[in-house]
């Protein structure tokens, strides 16, 4: 449908029709191509036999004829070319031509007679008619093989081109068209025409507004069900992602959805209609309502799955007892070996870790977390008769698995234990599918003990994936600092695990790393108590405070960094941490300033590539912004640019940057540079899990909303040797004072419910094992739910929580899911 309209719009455009002689260039990342075309006819002022045509094309073939629509442009270097914004395979326009085409070499099973029959019956539009609806061939009596080949060949030849043309006409450029096509393939146009809002969920970089523009041109009314549902899904994801919550409530959800819709088109939306569509989404299982909470389906399931997997591990029949060993005695041996005395809490931690399937260890900096990890590993090996010499495990996997959420944290873990440690993604073999956090590896881990460090950074989806891979006999020790910022992704898993009070846990509070006269660690602990020391503004051996207003911050930091560089500090040693991107003291302002000190462009010989206002040079410190498990680089990792290849020298003829990270080196083409940014100054969130010799921390009252205790605490604990606080003392006071609000999650309740069998869990049964499930899952079921093999999502979620019309009726769940306190007046269209 849309294609026909599209072609019509081309009628007035300049055209070039001709045969592709040569494909000069094909972008490896998108559909951009440069073609040499032998001109058959054209409607432009052109007197040569050949012309260079550029544009984004699907599967262009040499020696085939196409019609290109676009305009003549003058390239600064290569002169005049035809820039096509649209094209189509040049289909025969006469009956005879069409018969010749259909009986030609492409259609080996179709002879002259059959071709004539087709054209006689279907006319000159035969190809479009067949592509639109292959059943038009039915009355012609072609045998099945002939018919199949005809449709298949026509589809291959026309399909991709039509899609790319369609996408271009919908206003998507080469890269975006490529991403969209890669996601939906031959269904691309169908998906878009049926529900343009699907793009928002599936394609990074397409927001509601963009999808809505498209929907409007496709004729979707402002109050169409598809639009309202699209807005609801977008608002739900925004509300949960931005705040890190796993659910929201009806009131903010409806308000945000209505705002999205009314901003995109100036049409008032009836709140009742939105409420109706929310119910429809619940019926389709895309959102889940539970009491007054509304969850994206994936997060709702993930919380239950975590609880169920923990229960599965807990229920393992094999007892963890060591009758031949006296644990107190063993701890004395450890003390001798490590030449230290564990305090009572530390001893308790080691014992609990040895005797329980799952154990949680939390503590601030310098309280002995690493010390206890080492104790646990050593004692575990001792009790199980294992060697800790990895060279003895050539053919068998090492039985103790150590992992952390980031490469940096994993590297530190490996250094402090002397054993191999990896990222959790690597351990699980997850191959990055950023757009679908629901996807995880199917691997089952091998080994007896798993220790995860920096647990506060692990989000709901990652933890669910991790637990899914843990076999029931494995012991799991989760270590972190509960007072640090929670994960970037949704949830506050470590905090909720601790709060559930059903998993053995120990909090280490005594600080041991004070002997070296560090004042940074005591400062961190004071902040954690909501206080600041009386000597905050007085220079100490390892920290200082420079008072200034927001507009002086840049110049103060400039002076500090210049001095630090003169004293021999290297780029990797100095880290500026700022809470926000914008503003006079924001990350965007500070980064180029520090870059110019640490890595200036002294002359034209120094290679530099630019994207927008950001310049990259060899030696620059850069931050990785997304998870790329396939390259073993993760969100928040810092690397250094080790190479720049200009387009003319690169194989693919695009600018490239090579970056060395801790555990790997990657090369990014220009189209992938959105994955990185300068890292001289980063956000505190991005610095989680990393430590730096010198941290410079600017805080001013302008940051208001951000001034929270866990933010200040996390920032301060990133400093290993030197901490320079810059800004307004009152901002530091406010931050230390303000407890951050907990995220809205229900993991704690899910765990309690599954472990205590309260609420909706009258029975724990072992569910039938689905294909994806490597091990049985303890599953809470409703009494009336039959025990049948169901797909994994349902299997792991308590069925009675999934809103279906029958369940709604049976359980008399309020159909207004969570809207009990909300009246339509809350959403009355605002006066414009």
What is the C-alpha separation between 472 and 470, in angstroms, rounded? 6
Report whether 347 contacts 510 (CB < 8 A).
no
Find the shortest distance in angstroms from Cβ 54 to ligand ATP. Answer: 55
Find the shortest distance in angstroms from Cβ 310 to ligand ATP. Answer: 24
Nearer to ligand ATP, 346 or 635 (CB): 346
Contact residues for 378 (Cβ-Cβ < 8 A; gap 6+): 334, 337, 388
Q: Which residue is nearest to ligand ATP (CB)?
A: 512
Find the shortest distance in angstroms from Cβ 328 to ligand ATP. Answer: 16
Find the shortest distance in angstroms from Cβ 684 to ligand ATP. Answer: 16
Nearer to ligand ATP, 163 or 723 (CB): 723
Nearer to ligand ATP, 365 or 629 (CB): 365
Nearer to ligand ATP, 522 or 757 (CB): 522
Show contacts of 184-187: CB within 8 Å, 24+ apart: 186/155, 186/159
Find the shortest distance in angstroms from Cβ 524 to ligand ATP. Answer: 9
What is the C-alpha separation between 67 and 59, in angstroms, rounded? 14
Contact residues for 144 (Cβ-Cβ < 8 A; gap 6+): none
CA of residue 300 relative to chain centroid, distance: 18
Find the shortest distance in angstroms from Cβ 227 to ligand ATP. Answer: 49
Q: Is 43 annotated as a binding residue?
A: no
Q: What is the CB neighbour count within 10 angstroms for residue 45?
A: 8
Q: Is 367 annotated as a binding residue?
A: yes
**Which residues in this chain contact ligand ATP in the complex, by CB under 6 A?**
340-343, 346, 363, 365-371, 512-513
Q: Is 370 annotated as a binding residue?
A: yes
Report whether 193 contacts 211 (CB < 8 A).
no
Nearer to ligand ATP, 149 or 416 (CB): 416
Q: What is the CB neighbour count within 10 angstroms for residue 340?
A: 14
Helix (H) or strand (E) holding 602: none
What are the φ and ψ backbone dihedral angles of 645, each rounded to 5 degrees? -120, 120
Q: Is 806 annotated as a binding residue?
A: no
Nearer to ligand ATP, 513 or 653 (CB): 513
Burial of 750 (0-12, 13-18, 19+ CB in 10 A): buried
Contact residues for 527 (Cβ-Cβ < 8 A; gap 6+): 709, 712, 713, 716, 735, 736
Report whether 146 contacts 153 (CB < 8 A).
no
Q: Is 366 annotated as a binding residue?
A: yes
Find the shortest distance in angstroms from Cβ 484 to ligand ATP. Answer: 10
β-sheet bridge partners, residue 87: 68
What is the C-alpha separation between 624 and 633, in angstroms, rounded? 7
Nearer to ligand ATP, 229 or 374 (CB): 374
Show contacts of 823-826: CB within 8 Å, 24+ apart: 824/271, 824/272, 824/275, 826/251, 826/254, 826/255, 826/271
To the nearest 10°, report the CA torsion of 388, 389, 391, 395: -30
Nearer to ligand ATP, 513 or 670 (CB): 513
Find the shortest distance in angstroms from Cβ 367 to ligand ATP. Answer: 4
Nearest to 38 by CA among 62, 14, 73, 60: 62
Find the shortest distance in angstroms from Cβ 369 to ligand ATP. Answer: 3
Nearer to ligand ATP, 301 or 371 (CB): 371
Q: Which residues are annotated as a binding site for ATP?
A: 366-370
Q: Which residues are annotated as a binding site?
A: 366-370
């Amino acid at each position: 449908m849309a294609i026909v309209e599209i072609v019509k719009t081309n009628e007035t455009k300049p055209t070039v029709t001709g045969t592709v002689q040569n494909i000069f260039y094909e972008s490896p990342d998108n559909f951009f191509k440069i073609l040499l075309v032998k001109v058959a006819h054209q409607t432009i002022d052109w007197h040569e036999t050949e012309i260079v045509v550029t544009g984004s094309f699907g599967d262009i073939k040499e020696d085939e004829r196409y019609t290109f629509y676009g305009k003549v442009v003058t390239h600064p270097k290569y002169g005049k070319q035809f820039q096509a914004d649209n094209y189509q395979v040049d289909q025969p326009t006469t009956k005879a031509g069409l018969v010749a085409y259909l009986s030609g070499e492409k259609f080996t099973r179709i002879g002259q007679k059959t071709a004539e029959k087709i054209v006689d019956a279907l006319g000159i539009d035969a190809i479009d008619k067949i592509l639109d609806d292959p059943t038009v061939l039915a009355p012609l009596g072609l045998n099945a093989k002939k018919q199949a080949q005809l449709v298949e060949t026509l589809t291959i030849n026309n399909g991709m081109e039509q899609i790319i043309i369609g996408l271009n006409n919908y206003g998507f450029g080469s890269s975006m068209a490529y991403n969209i096509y890669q996601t939906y393939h031959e269904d691309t146009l169908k998906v878009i025409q049926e529900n343009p809002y699907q793009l928002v969920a599936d394609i990074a970089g397409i927001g509601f507004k963009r999808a809505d523009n498209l929907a409007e041109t496709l004729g979707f009314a402002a109050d169409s069900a598809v639009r309202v549902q699209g807005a609801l899904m977008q608002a739900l994801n925004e509300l949960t992602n931005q705040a890190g919550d796993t659910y929201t409530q009806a009131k903010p959800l409806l308000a945000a959805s209505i705002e999205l819709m009314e901003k995109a088109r100036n049409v008032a939306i009836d709140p009742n209609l939105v409420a109706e569509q929310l119910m429809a989404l619940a019926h389709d299982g895309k959102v889940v309502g539970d009491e007054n909470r509304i969850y994206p389906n994936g997060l709702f399931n993930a919380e239950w799955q975590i609880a169920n997997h923990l229960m599965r591990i807990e229920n393992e029949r094999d007892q963890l007892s060591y009758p031949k060993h006296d644990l107190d005695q063993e701890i004395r041996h450890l003390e001798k070996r490590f030449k230290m005395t564990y305090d009572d809490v530390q001893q308790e931690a080691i014992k609990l870790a040895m005797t329980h399937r799952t154990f949680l260890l939390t503590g601030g900096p310098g309280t002995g977390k690493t010390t206890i990890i080492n104790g646990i590993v050593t004692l575990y090996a001792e009790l199980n008769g294992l060697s800790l010499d990895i060279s003895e495990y050539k053919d068998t996997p090492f039985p103790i698995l150590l992992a952390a959420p980031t490469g940096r944290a994993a590297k530190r873990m490996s250094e402090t234990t002397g054993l191999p440690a990896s990222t959790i993604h690597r351990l699980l073999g997850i191959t990055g599918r950023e757009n679908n956090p629901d996807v995880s590896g199917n691997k089952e881990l091998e080994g007896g003990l798993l220790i995860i460090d920096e647990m506060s950074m692990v989000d709901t989806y990652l933890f669910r994936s991790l637990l899914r891979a843990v076999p029931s006999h494995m012991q799991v020790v989760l270590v972190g600092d509960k007072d640090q910022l929670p994960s970037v992704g949704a949830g506050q898993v470590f905090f909720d695990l601790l709060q559930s009070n059903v998993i053995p846990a120990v909090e280490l509070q005594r600080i041991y790393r004070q002997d070296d006269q560090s004042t940074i660690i005591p400062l961190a602990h004071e902040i954690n108590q909501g206080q600041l020391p009386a000597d905050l503004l007085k220079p100490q051996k390892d920290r200082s405070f420079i008072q200034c207003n927001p507009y002086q911050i840049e110049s103060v930091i400039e002076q500090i960094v210049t001095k630090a560089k003169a004293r021999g500090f290297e780029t990797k040693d100095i880290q500026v941490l700022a809470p926000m991107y914008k503003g006079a003291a924001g990350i965007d302002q500070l980064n180029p300033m520090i870059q110019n000190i640490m890595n200036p462009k002294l002359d034209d010989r120094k290679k530099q590539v630019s994207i927008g206002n950001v310049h990259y040079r060899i030696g620059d410190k850069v931050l990785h912004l997304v998870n790329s498990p396939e390259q073993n680089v993760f969100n928040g990792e810092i690397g250094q640019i080790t190479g720049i290849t200009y387009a003319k020298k690169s194989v693919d003829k695009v600018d490239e940057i090579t970056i060395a990270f801790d555990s790997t080196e990657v090369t990014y083409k220009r189209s992938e540079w959105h994955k990185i940014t300068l890292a001289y100054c980063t956000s505190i969130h991005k610095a989680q899990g990393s430590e730096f010799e010198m941290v410079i921390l600017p805080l001013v009252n302008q940051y208001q909303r951000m001034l929270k205790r866990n933010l200040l605490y996390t920032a301060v604990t990133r400093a290993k040797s030197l901490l320079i606080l810059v800004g307004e003392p009152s901002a530091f006071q406010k931050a230390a004072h303000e407890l951050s609000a907990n995220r809205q999650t229900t993991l704690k309740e899910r765990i309690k419910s599954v472990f205590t069998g309260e609420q909706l869990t009258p029975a724990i049964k072992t569910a039938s094992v689905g294909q994806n499930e490597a091990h049985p899952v303890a599953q809470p079921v409703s009494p009336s739910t039959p025990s049948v093999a169901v797909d994994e999502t349902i299997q792991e979620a308590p069925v009675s929580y999934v809103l279906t019309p029958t369940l709604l009726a049976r359980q008399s769940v309020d159909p207004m899911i969570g809207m009990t306190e909300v009246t339509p007046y809350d959403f009355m269209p605002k006066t414009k």
